[in-house]
Amino acid sequence: MLTVIIGIVFIALGFLVKVFPNLIAGYSTMTAAQKAKVDINGLSSFMRNGFIAMGALTIAGYYLFLMLNLEVVADMMVLVSAFLALPYILIGARRFDGNRTQAGEKSRGSRVVYTLIAVAVAGLLFYGLKPSDIEVNETSLRITGMYSEEVLLTDIETVELLEAAPSLLVRTNGFSLGSINKGYYKVDGLGKCKVILQSANGPCMLIKTKSGKCIIFGYKDANKTRVNYTTLRVYLGD
């Protein structure tokens, strides 16, 4: 709920900077001569629209990701919105300042580079937080999502259900955010393992293959982990 409140604050701030332009950082410290060269009507309108958009994105994103059962992303929407919107607002505000002597291609180039970086980071974040799944059929087990894996059932040596998630000592290559851990980790008592954990708590499956792989997988929903463990044991003929 705090995320929604902050989103509302962003929107309120947008209206405030329109009514009270001196709230805009930088403008309030300018001399009268410098202020005369600023299109304050255009600047205040641009800032208002930017903060309203940031607030709306924060609130809409929060509820959207809650519906998608991505609570971690929902709680991060303030940071996501700020990362996406603030640099655009700051860069875009420059065009209203007649005191600037450098403009044009450099400013447009900065916006293009930032946009590409923002899209790439947002895409990676969304992909990393997208829940992974396990699919089992008569011949193989497949893990979907980031760090996907497919293992032939004939290559599986042992499958255990661990009631508590093992201690992850070192991440050698992977994605980690909040209770979500995906990638390759050095695991206490097991060594190097591929880890797909969507909750810091158990249970989770420990899968060892005849080729020496170690895979640890756990859903956020404990019951779903237990059901898929049972399904995998049935396919293995246990």
Place 121 in a pLDDT band, splitting at 50, 70 and 90.
low
Q: In what order do the strands lie in the sheet with 149-152?
A: 134-136, 140-143, 149-152
pLDDT recorded at residue 170: 84
pLDDT one-digit tens code per residue, 198-217: 888 889 999 999 999 999 99
**pLDDT for the residue numbered 134:** 92
Mean pLDDT, residues 180-197 taken together: 92
Give residue 203's pLDDT. 94
Using 50, 70 and 90 to split pLDDT, how confident is the model at 103? very low
- Summarize pLDDT for 49-86 with one digit per residue, the tens: 999 999 999 999 988 887 876 666 776 788 888 888 88
Residue 218 pairs in a beta bridge with 197
Rounded to whole angstroms, the Cα distance separating 228 from 108 reads 51
- State residue 106's pLDDT score: 47
Please indicate whether residue 143 or residue 65 has the higher confidence score (pLDDT): 143
Q: Is it the case that residue 102 has pLDDT exceeding 50?
A: no
pLDDT tops 90 at residue 28: no
What is the rounded average pLDDT of the residues 114-138?
Answer: 76
pLDDT at 1: 61
Higher pLDDT, 132 or 23: 132
**Looking at the predicted structure, is the pLDDT value of residue 131 above 90?**
no
The model carries a pTM of: 0.57
The CA–CA distances, whole Å, from 194 to 30, 133, 169, 217, 218 equal: 56, 14, 13, 8, 12
pLDDT at 115 over 70: no
Query: Residue 169 above 90 pLDDT?
Result: no
Q: How confident is the model at residue 126 (pLDDT cuts 50, 70, 90)?
A: confident
